[in-house]
């Protein structure tokens, strides 16, 4: 059974890359409160009503929607699925599996722990990125220092802004690309094809898939339906299509090992699935493989983040060196 829900790892909650830090915190508080009430034996509708009374903003509206739908007798996961801006698909599918296995409160606690871990990760990333961003922005100062020395402050400011605008445009374009990659094929193919970054994002998607597949399998969900729902949790449309395609073959009676042979799964996850089908331990095997893949991806991510300060410092040094060389070249040029 889904005893403890998904581990609170670095990539466990990445089904919602566009979520703000505040949304994640509010969602964590909601999960913790709902888990406590359900664990105490309070009915779902009553627990949701109490949670809705303290929820604010967009998440508060989503929780009130859950309360209304619970009053109509609808499953919790189905109502969550109708508010994708508040609840990532991976969370929806894990709750759906938990309802089947009777472990909703434990899964909600695990999701709350995942959100807390994600908040800490975002904080660490923000700290690591802050210094490189400052250095790159500061590089505009020596490039335009001559205008400031000459007393032309507006020219100095304009030169700095002209230097910063491409950086801001690039950052905004990257954010837009991340958002479109969740549903658009072209954007996702481009993003996932970027060296290093694409591999890290792809690993995160496969980790989400493996954990949801394991949870649904553990809950006894039909194999074809399990395949379709786990594919939806991957987070990228281009991967979802390939991961959902084996469902048709499974409905025809084909084994999961044969059906997934051409689905593009990484070898470690495919072996865990194929061997688990023979031994009856798909959930356990995929869980272990996902944890190992997540740990390796986390190490690569940390290595990339550790390189950013050095890269920013080198860039700033090159800018300062170019300014210095230009200054001395002009100073020592003999007029004709």
> Is 191 within the bounds of a domain?
yes
Long-range contacts at 304-308 (CB < 8 A, ≥ 24 apart): 304/196, 304/197, 304/200, 305/125, 305/128, 305/129, 306/128, 308/128, 308/129, 308/131, 308/132
79: domain CATH number? 1.20.81.30
Residue 261 sits in the same domain as residue 130: yes
Whole-number Å distance between alpha carbons of 142 and 155? 13
The pLDDT assigned to 2 comes to 38
Mean pLDDT for 327-332 is: 64
Residues 283 and 308 in one domain: yes
What's the structural domain count of the chain?
2
Residue 112, domain member (yes or no): yes
Work out the number of other CB atoms within 10 angstroms of the CB of residue 229.
23
pLDDT in tens, 307-327: 777 777 787 777 777 767 776
Residue 158 included in any domain: yes
Task: Give yes or no: residues 158 and 103 share one domain.
Answer: no
The whole-model pTM stands at: 0.71
Domain that holds residue 301: 124-336
The per-residue pLDDT for 192 is 81
* Domain's final residue, options 116, 142, 157: 116
218 plus 110 within the same structural domain? no
**What mean pLDDT is predicted for residues 171-200?**
79
Higher confidence at residue 165 or residue 127? 165
pLDDT at 308: 74
Last residue of one domain, picked from the residues 97, 116, 135: 116
| For residues 89-110, average pLDDT | 86
What pLDDT, on the 0 to 100 scale, is given for residue 328? 65
Task: Please give the average per-residue pLDDT across 259-268, as a whole number.
Answer: 91
Q: Are residues 197 and 58 in the same domain?
A: no
Instruction: Give percent of the chain above pLDDT 90.
Output: 25
Same domain, 136 and 259: yes
pLDDT band with cut points at 50, 70 and 90 for residue 201: confident
Task: Please report whether residue 4 resides in a domain.
Answer: no
**Inside any domain, residue 86:** yes
The per-residue pLDDT for 259 is: 94
- Tell me which residue has tokens 């004709």: 336
């Amino acid at each position: 059974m889904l005893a403890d829900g998904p581990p609170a790892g670095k990539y466990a909650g990445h089904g919602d890359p566009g979520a703000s830090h505040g949304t994640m915190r509010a969602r964590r508080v909601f999960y913790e409160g709902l888990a406590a009430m359900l664990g105490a034996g309070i009915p779902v509708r009553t627990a949701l009503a109490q949670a809705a009374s303290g929820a604010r903003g967009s998440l508060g509206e989503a929780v009130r929607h859950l309360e209304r739908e619970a009053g109509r007798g609808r499953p919790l996961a189905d109502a969550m699925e109708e508010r994708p801006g508040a609840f990532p698909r991976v969370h929806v599918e894990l709750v759906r599996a938990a309802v089947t296995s009777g472990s909703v409160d434990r899964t909600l606690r695990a999701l709350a722990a995942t959100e807390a871990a994600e908040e800490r990760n975002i904080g660490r990333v923000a700290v690591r990125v802050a210094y490189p961003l400052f250095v790159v922005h500061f590089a505009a100062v020596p490039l335009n220092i001559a205008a400031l020395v000459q007393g032309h402050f507006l020219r100095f400011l304009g030169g700095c802004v002209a230097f910063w605008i491409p950086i801001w445009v690039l950052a905004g374009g990257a954010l837009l690309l991340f958002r479109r990659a969740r549903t658009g094929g072209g954007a996702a193919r481009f993003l996932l094809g970027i060296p290093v970054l694409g591999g890290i994002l792809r690993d995160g998607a496969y980790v989400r898939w493996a954990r949801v597949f394991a949870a649904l399998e553990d809950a006894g969900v039909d194999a074809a339906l399990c395949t379709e729902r786990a594919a939806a949790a991957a987070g990228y449309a281009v991967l979802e299509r390939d991961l959902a395609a084996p469902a048709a073959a499974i409905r025809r009676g084909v084994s999961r090992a044969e059906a997934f042979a051409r689905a593009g799964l990484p070898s470690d996850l495919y072996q865990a699935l194929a061997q688990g089908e023979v031994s009856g331990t798909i959930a356990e095997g995929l869980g272990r493989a996902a944890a190992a893949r997540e740990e390796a991806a986390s190490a690569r991510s940390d290595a990339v983040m550790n390189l950013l300060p050095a890269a920013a410092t080198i860039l700033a040094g090159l800018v300062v060196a170019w300014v210095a060389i230009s200054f001395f070249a002009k100073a020592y040029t003999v007029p004709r």
